[in-house]
Amino acid sequence: MKNSSFTSAIADIKAKLSIVDVIQGFVSLKKSGKNHIGLCPFHDDNNPSMHVNDEKGFFHCFSCGAGGDVFGFLMRYSNIGFREALKELAQKAGVRLPAPRPRTRSEKKKEATSARFFEINSLVCSFYSKNLRSSAKNSAWAREYLESRGISSEIIEEFKLGFAPDRWDAAVKFASKNNIGVKELEELGLVVARESGSGHYDRFRNRIIFPINEITGRICGFGGRTLSEDESKQPKYMNSPESPVFDKRSVLYGLYHSKSEIGRKRKAVLVEGYMDFIKLYANGIRNVVATLGTAFTNEHARFLRRFCEEVVIVYDGDTAGIRSAVRAGEILLEQGISSSICRIPDGLDPDDYLEEHGPESLAELIAAAVDVSDFIIDDTFARYREKKMSSGESIKFLVDLVSKIKDPVRRAEAVSKATGLFGIRESEFLSLVKTSNPGRNRGSLAPTTLIPEKSIHEREIVRILLKFPHLMSAEKIENIGRDFENGDLKVILKRVGEGEFTEVSSLMSSFEKIEMQQLLSELIFSSDDLIDDTTSEKILNDCVKELELRNIAFKRNEVIERIRKQRDSSDKTLERKLVEQYRDLVSMEKTIRGTAS
Tell me, yes or no, whether 278 and 391 share the same domain.
no
Q: Which of 444, 475, 498 represents a domain boundary (last residue)?
A: 444
113-148: burial string, b at 16+ Cβ within 10 Å, e else: eeebbbebbeebbbbbbebbeeeeebbeebbeebee
The reply to whether 99 falls in a domain is no
Give tens-digit pLDDT for 362-392: 999 999 999 999 999 998 898 888 888 888 8
Position 359 scores a pLDDT of 92
Average pLDDT over residues 199-214: 94
Average pLDDT over residues 114-137: 92
Selected residue with higher pLDDT from 290 and 437: 290
Q: Which of 345, 368, 391 represents a domain boundary (last residue)?
A: 368
The amino acid at residue 278 is I
Give tens-digit pLDDT for 35-86: 999 988 887 677 888 999 888 888 998 887 888 889 888 888 877 778 888 8
The reply to whether 30 falls in a domain is yes
User: Could you please report the per-residue DSSP string of 214-238?
Assistant: -TTS-EEEEEEEE--S-GGGS-SEE
Tell me, yes or no, whether 566 and 475 share the same domain.
yes
Confidence class for position 443, pLDDT limits 50, 70, 90 = very low
Confidence class for position 445, pLDDT limits 50, 70, 90 = very low
How is residue 347 annotated by DSSP?
Answer: G
Confidence class for position 302, pLDDT limits 50, 70, 90 = confident
Position 528 scores a pLDDT of 67
Structural domain harbouring 427: 379-444
The span from the CA of 252 to the CA of 591, in Å, is 58
Average pLDDT over residues 470-487: 86
Strand order in the sheet with 58-61: 29-32, 35-38, 50-53, 58-61, 67-69
The reply to whether 248 falls in a domain is no
Tell me, yes or no, whether 417 and 473 share the same domain.
no
pLDDT exceeding 90 applies to what percent of the chain? 35
Selected residue with higher pLDDT from 449 and 409: 409
The reply to whether 374 falls in a domain is no
* Residues sharing a CB contact under 8 Å with residue 494, sequence separation 6 or more, in sequence order: 477, 478, 481
Question: How many CB atoms sit inside 10 A of residue 323's CB?
Answer: 12
Tell me, yes or no, whether 277 and 340 share the same domain.
yes
Confidence class for position 9, pLDDT limits 50, 70, 90 = confident
Tell me, yes or no, whether 528 and 489 share the same domain.
yes
Tell me, yes or no, whether 109 and 89 share the same domain.
no
Position 441 scores a pLDDT of 37
Give tens-digit pLDDT for 215-254: 888 999 999 999 987 766 788 999 999 999 998 888 999 9
Give the β-pairing of 200-202 and 191-193: antiparallel
Tell me, yes or no, whether 358 and 435 share the same domain.
no
Give the range with max mean pLDDT: 106-115, 163-172, 479-488: 163-172
Average pLDDT over residues 319-340: 89
CATH number of the domain at 198, please.
Answer: 3.90.980.10
Question: How many CB atoms sit inside 10 A of residue 270's CB?
Answer: 27
CB 501 within 8 A of CB 507: yes
Q: Which of 112-126, 327-341, 516-530 has the lowest mean pLDDT?
A: 516-530
The amino acid at residue 221 is G
Tell me, yes or no, whether 511 and 439 share the same domain.
no
Residue 438 pLDDT greater than 70, yes or no: no
Position 344 scores a pLDDT of 93
Position 4 scores a pLDDT of 58
The reply to whether 40 falls in a domain is yes
The reply to whether 355 falls in a domain is yes
CATH number of the domain at 86, please.
Answer: 3.90.580.10
Tell me, yes or no, whether 333 and 390 share the same domain.
no
Q: What is the mean pLDDT of the chain?
A: 85
The span from the CA of 362 to the CA of 421, in Å, is 30
Position 435 scores a pLDDT of 65
Position 371 scores a pLDDT of 92
Tell me, yes or no, whether 464 and 587 share the same domain.
yes
The reply to whether 27 falls in a domain is yes
Residue 448 pLDDT greater than 60, yes or no: no
Confidence class for position 292, pLDDT limits 50, 70, 90 = very high
Domains contained in the chain, number: 5
SS3 505: helix
User: Could you please report the per-residue DSSP string of 249-267?
Assistant: TT--BTHHHHHHHHHHHTE
- Say what angle helices 408-422 and 372-385 make with each other, to 10 degrees: 10
Tell me, yes or no, whether 144 and 228 share the same domain.
yes
Q: Which of 444, 463, 488 represents a domain boundary (last residue)?
A: 444
Average pLDDT over residues 438-466: 58
The reply to whether 164 falls in a domain is yes
Q: Which of 31-45, 141-155, 500-514, 575-589 has the lowest mean pLDDT?
A: 500-514
CATH number of the domain at 306, please.
Answer: 3.40.1360.10
Residue 401 pLDDT greater than 70, yes or no: yes
CB 67 within 8 A of CB 58: yes
SS3 92: helix
Position 178 scores a pLDDT of 92
Tell me, yes or no, whether 121 and 230 share the same domain.
yes
Average pLDDT over residues 285-309: 88
Residue 159: CA atoms inside 13 Å, Cβ hemisphere, count?
A: 28
